[in-house]
Copies of this chain bind each other. A is one copy, B any other.
């Protein structure tokens, strides 16, 4: 198992949503994007992205359309929906709150972060 798989739980969708707020994208690109930003600590697998996509599409967070396959196989593009944007805003809020609580619970009283 990858090192920090559990830490990503519940954040995967939020991260995908955020990337899609900037522009429509497709699985492979998003996967690379995350790994590149992850500095070796965060490493979401392709398969995880695709299963997340399907889940999120079923939930109405994403809309999809086929694009062209420039330099490779066909691309399935994903766009964030209004519902997706609202959820992203909520999750973003939640993260900032949760972060301070976890800071307290994990680091403790000596807040020399």
Shortest C-beta distance, A30 to chain B (Å), equals: 11
Is A70 part of the binding interface, using a Cβ–Cβ cutoff of 8 Å? no
Within 8 A of B (CB), among A84-113: 91-92, 94-99, 101-108, 113
User: Do B11 and A106 touch across chains, with their CB atoms under 8 A apart?
Assistant: yes
A–B Cβ pairs within 8 angstroms, 26 of them? A4-B98, A5-B10, A7-B10, A7-B11, A7-B94, A9-B9, A11-B102, A14-B106, A15-B105, A15-B106, A18-B106, A18-B107, A18-B108, A22-B108, A37-B101, A37-B104, A38-B101, A39-B97, A41-B101, A42-B98, A42-B101, A42-B102, A42-B105, A91-B106, A92-B106, A99-B99
CA distance A104 to B95 in the complex (A): 12
